[in-house]
């Protein structure tokens, strides 16, 4: 079992392979060598080099939004897809408008598309936010379908629910990045709970 999150050696980052922990995945040298060949595939190679270059150029200067824009420009993308949560419609509009000012075509699809009731998806009344009222189910598979239909080259997820985002990634034909990870309690800053996990949030996690 690999436990990189608890490693204090970090030989991978230092380049010093003499002190590898016994369960370090770097002991699988042959597998790593084979996997590295995937970066030599033409589409992966350019994608990886451009993203790594954006990381370096904007390091500690660009917010993630600008990094995403610059990455898309460097990749030569023209049509960008946005899959967003109804609760972040305002934010999605700002992002869409910003991309348009940078001369991208932007296709956006809201999570509630289809207007299908949660009951139809098998969600019981007690698991609805407002039981016995109409609530439209989130529809990430349809969001992916409609963006695929529009031939988006790169998709941006804005505030999709945990699990719903996973289904969107699964069905999206284009690569996906998450611009906003939803956290209704912490103004969409999940790291807040991590930073406070041993303090203020200890009894809430």
Domain boundaries, the chain: 24-61, 77-204
Say whether pLDDT at 36 is over 90: yes
Separation of alpha carbons 143 and 171, rounded Å: 9
Greater model confidence, 108 or 204: 108
Say whether pLDDT at 54 is over 90: yes
Q: What is the reported pLDDT for 16?
A: 85
Mean pLDDT of 61-81: 98
Q: What is the reported pLDDT for 15?
A: 85
Q: What is the reported pLDDT for 140?
A: 98
8 A C-beta contact, residue 92 and residue 158: yes
Q: What is the reported pLDDT for 19?
A: 86
pTM for the structure as a whole: 0.94
Separation of alpha carbons 81 and 153, rounded Å: 7
Shortest CA distance to 111 belongs to which of 150, 153, 147?
147
Shortest CA distance to 167 belongs to which of 124, 121, 134?
121
Q: Which CATH class is domain 77-204?
A: alpha beta
Cα-to-chain-centroid distance, residue 142? 17
Say whether pLDDT at 32 is over 90: yes
DSSP state letters, 65-100? HHHHHHHHHHHT--EEEEEE-GGGHHHHHHHHHHHH
Say whether pLDDT at 87 is over 90: yes
């Amino acid at each position: 079992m690999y436990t990189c999150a608890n490693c204090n050696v970090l030989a991978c980052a230092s380049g010093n392979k003499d002190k590898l922990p016994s369960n370090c995945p770097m002991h699988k040298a042959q597998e790593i060598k084979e996997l590295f060949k995937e970066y030599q595939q033409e589409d992966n190679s350019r994608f990886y080099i451009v993203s790594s270059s954006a990381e370096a150029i904007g390091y500690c200067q660009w917010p993630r939004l600008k990094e995403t824009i610059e990455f898309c420009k460097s990749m030569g993308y023209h049509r960008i897809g946005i899959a967003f949560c109804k609760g972040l419609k305002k934010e999605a509009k700002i992002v869409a408008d910003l991309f348009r000012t940078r001369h991208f075509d932007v296709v956006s699809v809201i999570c509630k598309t289809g207007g299908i009731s949660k009951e139809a998806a098998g969600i019981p009344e007690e698991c609805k936010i407002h039981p016995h009222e109409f609530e439209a189910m989130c529809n990430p598979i349809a969001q992916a379908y409609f963006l695929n239909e529009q031939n988006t080259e790169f998709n941006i997820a804005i505030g999709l629910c945990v699990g719903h985002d996973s289904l969107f990634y699964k069905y999206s034909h284009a690569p996906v990045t998450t611009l906003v990870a939803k956290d209704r309690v912490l103004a969409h800053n999940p790291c807040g709970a991590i930073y406070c996990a041993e303090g203020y949030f200890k009894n809430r996690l």
